[in-house]
Chain A
Amino acid sequence: MSNIYDYTCFILLLPLLTFLLPGLFGKKFPRISGILGTTSMLIVTVLAYLTAYHYFITDAPAEGYYWPYGSRWPYLVLAKFTWLRFNAALSLDMGIALDPLSVMMLVVVSTVSLMVHLYSTGYMKGEERYSTYFSFLSLFTFSMLGLVVASNIFQIYIFWELVGVSSFLLIGFYFDKPSAVAAAKKAFIVTRFADLGFLCGILILSFYSGSLDFRVIIERMSSSSSAFYSFAAGASFLGVSALTWALVLIFAGGAGKSAMFPLHIWLPDAMEGPTPVSALIHAATMVVAGVFLVARLFPVFCMSHAAMDVVAYTGAASALIAALIACTQTDIKRVLAYSTMSQIGYMMFSLGISGYGGEKGLGYSAALFHLFTHAMFKALLFLCAGAVIHAVHSNEIKDMGGLKKPMPFTSIAFFFACLAISGIPSLSGFYSKEEILTAAFHRNKIIFCTGLLTAGITSFYMFRLYFSIFWNNKNKSGIKTHMAASITIPLFILTVATIEAGHIPFGKYVSSDGLPLHSDTDIRLSAAAIIISGIGILTAAFLYLKERTLPGRISAKAGIVYRFIAGKLYIDELYLLITKKVVFNLISAPAAWVDRNIVDGGMNLLGAAAENVSETIRPVQSGKIRNYALWFLAGTILISLFLIYVIR
């Protein structure tokens, strides 16, 4: 079957190639790998845009499968092949699935990745492991693109782990720094722990639906009249249906990758990686994989209210907690990391409160719309932060201030990104956040209030950051900056995207049931959100525009509460306590004792017995040939006597 989407395969093949080539031969041609990676990324981006253009705009006729019936957008599977075949009913297929969700993600991932590649050619210049860096970056892009187009839940799991590996490699890129190594290890272990849940969820879900293919799973599981659904919903474990268990476990995997509370502890530490990596992986693309996963299985999630509630409340709690912690952090990348977590919490609760189809599905569209706009402005924020860190050589807010003069361009870009994340009208973040809040208002008032409060805190800490970096005191260190074109171009493009991305009629393309969704936002809701954000911005301006002692005095007044939040709610310490005191003492220590004394002891006993026996019978082999002959003769005679007199 040949159709116009044949070129889409190259979207996956090119990054794989640019992972292998510089990875294998990069040492000899260090300069080329950056150009090679960026060029191939450019081609990939063009192809992704072409795919989106064909898919959304021209409605190119294709042999497609329309789901749900009457949906406007076909579900296409390209380049499908059977990778592993167990029996006639069970086989692992690989393929490239195109539907509105994956096409949208292709655009997001390739755009941000291209910007980061371009930025990295300037930012990482002179780095010793330059080509290794680009090789890893390509590996990440390859796995992320593979993840979003996966047609099969097992394929998504494979790419999910690949994404985890490349994230690990890039966080630990400066492997001579102990903190980076620790951060990489932490990220890997925490997400692996969550992936265990994901794997169990996959197994349960595929057991009950009898398939690993997304299309089949969704078809069989999302109608309450289907036999598969009643089988899964009927079986129960600990009073909760098997379907809910499967979905909650799958969500646990997504929450690990998306840094949802309480599995978020790895994300702030992951900022040890190079800043462009933070922009690409830990802000714009990889961390939204959890949102993507829930969105991918959304029709199934809709069938379990309990699972949806878990998603919604986890999201809301993460959004609020992360926003609170972000106010107290002094490392600018950590502030951005917590802000990422908070925004992903937004997307999660928006998915969690959404219903299926029509107006009720607003939350779904809104979540993905926010994913789209957030990718743009968060990448921009991180790249600006990278430029600032490059100039100041520090991550700490206290080393910055007054950078408006020496870095006017970065300052403007950062300003727009802050406006966007605060939800100021006509910038992209406004539209997506409005939709989320509208959806929440109609479905769940508690979550709506949390979201509104978080919006205010968000604008407060973002502008705290902005004023502290670019205004505040005089430029102490007399910084002179030279910004290479490779750094300014991505900033410029992302600024444009940040401003304009909100004007895309997103609901028309991506909605829960494939039908165009027209959202009309309530003007009163918008006004409430804008006022809350405005209060946040004004408070930040009041406290941080000029250098004042007031913030310090306020935090001193708040005392224990402030310390509790600044200590990140002591969740890291809690985990350490649990792992060190409970797990190590109660589980690992007895297990180690059993291993050392019973398992090893048993083996040693066998060895000692064998040694003793052989020591005893050793003298039999004397080396004296006539001895042997005598034994031989005696044995022969004995056997002969035995044969003659006993057996006859």
Chain B
Amino acid sequence: MNEIPLHLVLFVSTTLFFTGAYGFLTRRNMITMLMAIELMLNSVNINFLAFNKYLFPGKAEGVFFTIFIITIAAAEASVAIAIIINLYRKFRTIDAENTDSLKF
């Protein structure tokens, strides 16, 4: 079975990352923005795994990093959702356009 070439994997992860970035910049709903962030994190995970497999096949550091990132992403999601809930209590909305009182 032929292996998938590295650049194809990287192409997938780049697409995924910019999809996430585009979503983060254009969406106004904070939950959606959070999901976009998760997309970006996952694209990074794919990068780690791909480089680990293709460049250093005998080692496992990339895999460890991926596991760390997944764990932290879970924790980060819970924190972010807590922040969103508090914002909602204060502003009665989770639209990022309207929650702009933290400024000069």
Contacts of B99 in A (CB 8 A): 625
> Does chain A have a CB within 8 A of B96?
yes
Q: How far is the CA of A579 from the CA of B5 in the complex (A)?
A: 94
Is the CB–CB distance between B25 and A623 below 8 Å?
Answer: no
Is the CB–CB distance between A621 and B24 below 8 Å?
Answer: no
Is the CB–CB distance between B103 and A629 below 8 Å?
Answer: no
The binding surface of chain B is classed by DSSP as loop
Is the CB–CB distance between B104 and A625 below 8 Å?
Answer: no
Is the CB–CB distance between A623 and B96 below 8 Å?
Answer: no
Interface residues of A in 567-621 (CB under 8 A from B): 618-619, 621
Question: Which residue on B lies nearest to A617, using beta carbons?
Answer: B104
Total cross-chain contacts (CB, 8 A): 24
Is the CB–CB distance between B21 and A625 below 8 Å?
Answer: no
Interface residues of B in 42-78 (CB under 8 A from A): none
Known: A630-B25, A633-B21, A633-B25. A621 touches B104 (CB 8 A): yes
> Does chain B have a CB within 8 A of A624?
yes
Closest chain-A Cβ to B47's Cβ sits at a distance in Å of 14
Is the CB–CB distance between A629 and B24 below 8 Å?
Answer: yes
**Contact check: which of B24, B101, B103 meets A626 at CB < 8 Å?**
B24
> Does chain A have a CB within 8 A of B3?
no
**Contact check: which of B25, B100, B101, B104 meets A618 at CB < 8 Å?**
B104
Contacts of B100 in A (CB 8 A): 622-625
Q: How far is the CA of A629 from the CA of B104 in the complex (A)?
A: 17
Question: Which residue on B lies nearest to A637, using beta carbons?
Answer: B21
Q: How far is the CA of A633 from the CA of B17 in the complex (A)?
A: 12
Question: Which residue on B lies nearest to A633, using beta carbons?
Answer: B21
Q: How far is the CA of A625 from the CA of B100 in the complex (A)?
A: 7
Question: Which residue on A lies nearest to B36, using beta carbons?
Answer: A629
Q: How far is the CA of A626 from the CA of B28 in the complex (A)?
A: 9
Is the CB–CB distance between B103 and A623 below 8 Å?
Answer: yes
Closest chain-A Cβ to B49's Cβ sits at a distance in Å of 21
Q: How far is the CA of A623 from the CA of B103 in the complex (A)?
A: 5
Contacts of A621 in B (CB 8 A): 103-104
> Does chain A have a CB within 8 A of B102?
yes
Contacts of A629 in B (CB 8 A): 24-25
Is the CB–CB distance between B101 and A623 below 8 Å?
Answer: yes
Question: Which residue on A lies nearest to B18, using beta carbons?
Answer: A633
Closest chain-B Cβ to A219's Cβ sits at a distance in Å of 73
Closest chain-B Cβ to A314's Cβ sits at a distance in Å of 70
Closest chain-A Cβ to B69's Cβ sits at a distance in Å of 18
Contacts of B102 in A (CB 8 A): 623
B72-104 interface mask toward A, CB cutoff 8 Å, 1 = contact, 0 = none?
000000000000000000000000110111111
Is the CB–CB distance between A626 and B104 below 8 Å?
Answer: no
Interface residues of A in 621-641 (CB under 8 A from B): 621-626, 629-630, 633
Question: Which residue on A lies nearest to B30, using beta carbons?
Answer: A625
Q: How far is the CA of A618 from the CA of B103 in the complex (A)?
A: 9
**Contact check: which of A618, A619, A626, A630 meets B96 at CB < 8 Å?**
A626
Question: Which residue on A lies nearest to B27, using beta carbons?
Answer: A626
Contacts of B24 in A (CB 8 A): 626, 629
Closest chain-B Cβ to A621's Cβ sits at a distance in Å of 5
Closest chain-A Cβ to B24's Cβ sits at a distance in Å of 6
Question: Which residue on B lies nearest to A624, using beta carbons?
Answer: B100
Is the CB–CB distance between A622 and B25 below 8 Å?
Answer: no
Contacts of B103 in A (CB 8 A): 621-623
Q: How far is the CA of A626 from the CA of B25 in the complex (A)?
A: 6
Known: A629-B24, A629-B25. A624 touches B97 (CB 8 A): yes
Q: How far is the CA of A630 from the CA of B21 in the complex (A)?
A: 9
Contacts of A626 in B (CB 8 A): 24-25, 96
Q: How far is the CA of A621 from the CA of B101 in the complex (A)?
A: 11
Interface residues of A in 317-341 (CB under 8 A from B): none
**Contact check: which of B21, B96, B104 meets A624 at CB < 8 Å?**
B96
Contacts of A633 in B (CB 8 A): 21, 25
Q: How far is the CA of A621 from the CA of B99 in the complex (A)?
A: 14
Q: How far is the CA of A621 from the CA of B100 in the complex (A)?
A: 10
Contacts of A630 in B (CB 8 A): 25
Q: How far is the CA of A624 from the CA of B24 in the complex (A)?
A: 13
Interface-central residue, A619, A621, A626, by most chain B CB under 10 Å: A626
Q: How far is the CA of A176 from the CA of B103 in the complex (A)?
A: 56
Q: How far is the CA of A469 from the CA of B21 in the complex (A)?
A: 106
Q: How far is the CA of A284 from the CA of B104 in the complex (A)?
A: 71
Contacts of B97 in A (CB 8 A): 624
Interface-central residue, A619, A625, A633, by most chain B CB under 10 Å: A625
Interface residues of B in 8-27 (CB under 8 A from A): 21, 24-25
Contacts of A619 in B (CB 8 A): 104
Q: How far is the CA of A633 from the CA of B99 in the complex (A)?
A: 21
Contacts of A622 in B (CB 8 A): 100, 103
Q: How far is the CA of A626 from the CA of B29 in the complex (A)?
A: 11
Q: How far is the CA of A633 from the CA of B23 in the complex (A)?
A: 13
Closest chain-B Cβ to A613's Cβ sits at a distance in Å of 13
Q: How far is the CA of A286 from the CA of B91 in the complex (A)?
A: 78
Question: Which residue on A lies nearest to B100, using beta carbons?
Answer: A623
Q: How far is the CA of A618 from the CA of B97 in the complex (A)?
A: 19
Q: How far is the CA of A629 from the CA of B40 in the complex (A)?
A: 13
Q: How far is the CA of A623 from the CA of B21 in the complex (A)?
A: 19
Q: How far is the CA of A624 from the CA of B103 in the complex (A)?
A: 8
Question: Which residue on B lies nearest to A626, using beta carbons?
Answer: B25
Q: How far is the CA of A633 from the CA of B25 in the complex (A)?
A: 10
Q: How far is the CA of A630 from the CA of B33 in the complex (A)?
A: 13
Q: How far is the CA of A633 from the CA of B24 in the complex (A)?
A: 11
Closest chain-A Cβ to B15's Cβ sits at a distance in Å of 16
Question: Which residue on A lies nearest to B97, using beta carbons?
Answer: A624
Contacts of A623 in B (CB 8 A): 100-103
Closest chain-B Cβ to A628's Cβ sits at a distance in Å of 10
Q: How far is the CA of A158 from the CA of B75 in the complex (A)?
A: 68
Contacts of B21 in A (CB 8 A): 633
- A and B contact pairs by CB, cutoff 8 A, 24 listed: A618-B104, A619-B104, A621-B103, A621-B104, A622-B100, A622-B103, A623-B100, A623-B101, A623-B102, A623-B103, A624-B96, A624-B97, A624-B100, A625-B96, A625-B99, A625-B100, A626-B24, A626-B25, A626-B96, A629-B24, A629-B25, A630-B25, A633-B21, A633-B25
A interface residues (Cβ-Cβ under 8 A, vs B): 618-619, 621-626, 629-630, 633
With A618-B104, A619-B104, A621-B104 known, 20 other A-B pairs at CB within 8 A are A621-B103, A622-B100, A622-B103, A623-B100, A623-B101, A623-B102, A623-B103, A624-B96, A624-B97, A624-B100, A625-B96, A625-B99, A625-B100, A626-B24, A626-B25, A626-B96, A629-B24, A630-B25, A633-B21, A633-B25
4 closest cross-chain pairs (CB), A and B: A623-B103, A623-B100, A618-B104, A624-B100
